[in-house]
A and B are shown apart, each in its own frame.
Chain A
Amino acid sequence: MQILDRRLNPRGRSLPNRQRFLRRAKSLVQEAVREASAKRDIRGADEGGEVSIPLHGIREPSFHLGQGGVRDHVLPGNKEYREGDEIPRPPGGEGGGGSEGSPDGGGEDSFRFVLSREEFLDLFLDDLELPDLAKRRLVEGADPAWQRAGFQVSGSPANLALSRTMRNSLSRRIALRRPRPEAVAALQEEIARLEALDGDAERLAELRLELERMVRRTQRVPWIDPIDVRYRRFEPVPRPVAQAVMFCLMDVSGSMTEDMKDLAKRFYTLLYIFLQRRYKHVEIVFIRHTHEASEVDEETFFHSRETGGTLVSTALEEMQKVVADRYPPAEWNIYAAQASDGDNAAGDSQRTARLLIDSILPVCQYYAYIEVGRESEHGMPGFPRGPTDLWRTYEQLVAAGAPMAMKKVRHRREIFSVFRELFARRPEGQEAQA
C-alpha cells in the first residue's frame, strides 16, 4: 500500500482541454459574451464571469432511444396502486411518475460556465475585430519599468553590488576565522623582536608555529570567494501611471434608439478598458443631454429615456463645469467621448464650436466623436443622407486642425476604426506622463 501526495502536481492540467472547448464553441461563447457585456456596466466590462450558451451547439450525439413504444418503469414507494390500475400519463411525454422531476431536467437546454477575466476580454475584443497588436496592448498594458529588487548571485559585472559582496566576504572571513593581516603583522614583529633579542627559544618556536598556522589559514580562506559575490537584481514592475477621467457624453433625446446607445456603450467600454491599462486610476463621468444636460449615473445614462430638443452645447458646458469643479487638468488626463445621432438645434452649432475650441479641446488628451446610425440605413439606395448638423460643425473644426477624432459607426465592427486613431496619434505629452 502506498500513499501519494498529488496536491503539488502542476495545476491547470485541464487547461488544454478548456482551450479546445472554447475554440470549439467560439461563436456561441462570443454571442454569450456579447450579451453579457451589454448587460454589464462599463467598469465591470473586463471581469470574467459566468456565461450561458445553448447546449445544442456543443452536444455530443449518441444513438439513443427516442419517445414512444412500450416502456417499463419499476418505481419505489407505491401507496395506493393495485395491479391493473390505470394511471393517466403525466404531461410532457415520458411517463413513470416523477422520473422527469429531476433537478437537472430544467437546465438541459443551456450550458453555464465561468470565463476567466482574460478569456472574457479576449472574446470581447475579438468581437470588435481588434487587430492582434492592439489587443495585446489592451490586455497587457503599458511597458514595464525596471525596479531594484534585492540581490542575486549571478549577473553582469556592471551590476556588481560591491558593498553587499564585501559584507558577505567579511562575515565569511570572520566566521571561518581568517587571521586579520594586522594580527599576522603583529606576530611577525613579535618573532622578529624575539629573534633579535635571542630570547626564549621555546616561546619562539611556539610563535613560529603559530605564524605558520596563520599564514596557512590565510591562504586557505580567500579574501573574496565566489560565494560572496552579489549582483543587483532588477524586476519589471508596471509603470506607475497617473490618473485619468473619462467623460461620456451622449445625446439621449428620443431619436437615439437602444441600438445606437448600445453602439455608444461599446465605444465607451473600449475606451475604458484602454484607459485602465494606461492609468492607475480611471474615473468615469456620465453626462447626458437633451436640450439641457446633467451628470447622471451609468444606469440612468444608458437606460432612462428623456424627451426634449437637442442642444449639444449644454453637455459641453456641463463638462466644463465638472472639470473646473473636480478635475483640474494639471492633475488629470481628460478623455472625452461623445456619442450622438448628429442632431443639433440649428442655432447651437456656433456655440458648440466655440466651446470646444476655447475650453474643452485645450484640456483634453483626446476628444472622440462618434456618430451612431441605424444599421439599416447603411447603403440604403435612393435615400442619400447628407452630413448631419453636428458632423458639419465638427468637420470644420477638424479641418482647422483641432485635435479630435470623428467617425460614423453603424455596426459594432466599425467601432474599432475610430479607436485606431487613438493608437495612431499619440502626442508626446501623453507618453511622458507615464
Chain B
Amino acid sequence: MSITLDDRMLYQGAEWDFTTLRRIHDACEEIALGELGLEVYPNRIEVISAEQMLDAYASTGLPLFYRHWSFGKHFAHHEAMYRRGLRGLAYEIVINSDPCLSYVMEENTATMQALVIAHAAFGHNHFFRNNRLFRDWTDARGILDYLEFARGYVAQCEERHGEAAVERLLDSAHALMTHGVHRQRPRRIPDLKREEERERERRQHDEQVYNVLWRTLPEKASTPPQRGEEEKRRALLQLPQENVLYFLEKMAPRLEPWQREIIRIVRNIAQYFHPQRQTKMMNEGCATYCHHRILGRLHEQGRISDGAWLEIIHSHSSVILQPEFDDPRYGGMNPYALGFAIMEDIERICRTPTEEDREWFPDWAGCGDPMPVLREAWAEYRDESFILQFLSPHLMRKLKLFHVRDDSAQPVMRVDAIHDEGGYRRLRRALAQQYDPAWTDADIQVVDVDLGGDRRLVLEHRVNAGRLLDEQEARQVLRHMASLWSYDVLLQEVDPTTGAVLKQHAVAPPRA
C-alpha cells in the first residue's frame, strides 16, 4: 500500500484519533443532511472504555443514573457474560437527548467508528428528533439534567432516611414501572427542567412553614378526621386510572413527600422510555437504513476504502441476520432486520414498483425518491402502525411469514395465515399486533378505592384473549403495591366482554 494519503480518503487502516472521528462525522453529516435530508440534534460523541460500556449497560443505557442494587446485578451479569466471551459489547449506546449523546468504544476500529457514527449519531438521532412519540412524550433537552437531579435526590434521601428505606421504595416502584406510564396523549409535554425546581420549591415551602411548636402538639391532633372530604376526594381520584404509579404518587394515603417524589422520578423515567418500547423496530430500522445509505455513499465517493467497505458489509449483514423459525438461533423477529427490510422495500417500491405494489400503495409507489416517504414514516408512525401501513406482500413473501394461532383450549396449534393472496392482510395485522404494547402488555387499571371502609384498593386486569397474569409474579408485584398503598390491595382479572371475574388476587400490606 502506498503511504501517500489519498485526499478524499477519510482514514486508512484501523487506527483512529479524534481528528479522524471529526472527519468521519463531518463527512457523514454532509451526506445525512445534504442528500438524505435528515434533521438531527447537535451531536456529542463520547469515547469510552469497555468497562464504562458495561457500566452504561447496567443502568439501562443512561449515564448518571441513581443507585440501586438491580443495576449492580445487571452489571455483574453482563460482566460475567462478557468475560466468558458469551457476549460481545454493543459498539455504541445512544441517548435521546439534546445534544444527542452517543457513546463509542475505544476498541472499535476506524471503520466501526464510522458505522457507529452513521448509525447512532445520524440514524437514531434523526429518529429521536422527528418521531412524533418522542416529540410528544420526551423532553430531550431536559433529560440529562433531570437524571442528575434524580441521582442527587435519591442519594440525599438515602442519607436522610436510610438506604434500606429507599431501596424498599425503589424496589416497589420498579416492580410497577411497566404500569407507570400514561398511554393517552399527554396534556402537556413534560418539562423535565422544571421538575427539580418544583421539588425545591416544595421543600422550601416546607421549611418556611416549619415551626418547632407543631412538634409539641399531641400526635392525634396532627391528623384531623377528614369528614366531608371523602366525596370530594373520590371525584379527585380520577378513576379509572391506568397509570398505577401516578395514582399511587398522588393518592396513596400514607406516603411521605420524599417517597412521592421518588415514585415520580421512577414514573418520569418509565415515561421517557415508553416511546422507545413502541418504536424499537422502526428506530433500529431507521438507524440501520441510514448507516447503510451514508456509508454506501461514502464508499461510492471513494472516501472509504474497499477493505473498510467489506468490513462494513460484514457487520451490517450480521446485524440484520434473521434466522428462520426452525433455526436454533431463532429468538424472535430481529427488529434491525425487519425494520431495515421494510425500509429497503419502501425504497424499491418508490423506484421500481410492480403492479402489485401500485395497487397496495397507490399514493407513493413509483414516486422516485424514497426519502420523503421514509421521513414521513419515521416522523409519524410507531412500530404497529408502520407495519400496518408499509409491510408489502412482496416482503411477506420474501420473509416467508406465517401466522400461527396457539389457543390453549385446543389440542394443536393452527396456521392461521400464510404469505398468500388470502393471508396478506391478516398476516400483517397479526404481526402489527405483536408490536403494540397495548396488546402485548396486561391492561391493568385502578378502578376503585373503598374510602369509607378499609381503604382497600381495587385493580382490574381486563383479560385479553384469555391470557391471565403469571400468578406468582403478580402476587409479588401486588405485595409491592400494597406496601406503597399501605392497605389491602385486590386485583380482579375480568373478562371484558362478559364482566365475569376470572381470578382474584388479594394481598395485605406488610406489617410495619
Interface string of B55-68 (1 = CB under 8 A from A): 10011000000011
Q: What 0/1 readout, one digit per residue, does chain B (452-478) give for beta carbons within 8 Å of chain A?
A: 000000000101111111110110110
Is the pair A76, B52 in contact by a Cβ cutoff of 8 Å? no
Cβ of B55 and Cβ of A76 under 8 Å apart?
A: no
Per the 8 Å Cβ criterion, residues 154-193 of B in contact with A are 163, 167, 171, 174-179
Identify which of residues 26-75 in chain A touch chain B, using a CB-to-CB cut-off of 8 Å. Answer: 50, 58-75
Among A14, A70, A96, point to the contact of B72 (Cβ < 8 A).
Answer: A14
B contact residues around A113 at 8 Å (CB): 76-77, 79-80
- Interface residue? A20 (CB, 8 A): yes
Assess the B44–A2 pair: CB atoms within 8 A: yes
Near B by CB (< 8 A), chain A positions 295-330 give none
A374 to B377, CA, bound (A): 73
B332 near A1: Cβ-Cβ < 8 Å: no
Question: Is there contact, CB below 8 Å, between B467 and A83?
Answer: no
A21 in complex: contacting residue of B25, B51, B76, CB < 8 Å: B76
Is B434 a contact of A86 with CB atoms below 8 Å?
no
Q: Which of A2, A7, A66, A112 contacts B80 (CB 8 A)?
A: A112
Task: Kindly provide the distance from the CB of A371 to the nearest chain B CB, expressed in whole angstroms.
Answer: 40
- Most chain A C-beta atoms within 10 Å of own C-beta, residue among B177, B401, B413: B413
Residues of chain B with a CB closer than 8 A to A384's CB: none
- Among B324, B402, B444, B465, the most chain A Cβ lie within 10 Å of the Cβ of B402
Contact among B103, B400, B423 with A79 in the assembled complex (CB-CB below 8 Å): B400
Interface residues on B, range: 35 or more
Asked if B438 is at the interface (CB within 8 A of a chain A CB), the reply is no
Q: How far is the CB of A219 from chain B (nearest CB, A)?
A: 50
> What total count of A-B pairs have CB within 8 Å?
277
Asked whether A350 is an interface residue with its Cβ less than 8 Å from the other chain, the reply is: no
Query: A74 is contacted by which of B25, B324, B333 (Cβ under 8 Å)?
Result: B333
Does A163 interact with chain B (Cβ within 8 Å)? no
Minimal beta-carbon separation of A11 from chain B (angstroms) = 6
Q: In the docked arrangement, what's the CA distance between A77 and B414, Å?
A: 16
Q: Is the CB of B401 within 8 A of A6?
A: no
CB of B72 within 8 A of CB of A98, answer no
Across the interface, name the chain A residue whose C-beta is closest to B322: A76
Which residue of the partner chain B has the closest CB to A50? Answer: B80
Determine whether A5 belongs to the interface, using a CB cutoff of 8 Å to chain B.
yes
- Residues of A within 8 Å of B175, CB to CB, are 60-62
CB <8 Å contact, B324 and A76:
yes
Q: Out of A14, A19, A78, A98, which one reaches B419, CB within 8 Å?
A: A78
B416 at the interface (CB under 8 A from A): yes
Chain B hits for A79, CB < 8 A: 326, 400
6 extra A-B contacts, CB within 8 A, seeds A68-B466, A114-B76: A3-B18, A20-B68, A64-B470, A76-B322, A82-B418, A98-B330
Q: List 30 A-B contacts (CB under 8 A).
A: A1-B42, A2-B99, A3-B18, A3-B22, A3-B44, A4-B47, A13-B55, A14-B54, A14-B71, A20-B68, A20-B72, A24-B167, A60-B171, A61-B473, A61-B477, A63-B178, A69-B464, A70-B408, A73-B403, A73-B434, A75-B324, A75-B402, A77-B399, A78-B325, A81-B402, A81-B418, A83-B417, A84-B415, A86-B412, A102-B330
Residues of B within 8 A of A (CB): 18, 21-22, 25-26, 29, 42-49, 51-52, 54-55, 58-59, 67-73, 75-77, 79-80, 83-84, 99, 103, 106, 163, 167, 171, 174-179, 322-333, 399-408, 411-420, 422-423, 427, 430-431, 433-434, 441-442, 444, 461, 463-471, 473-474, 476-477, 480
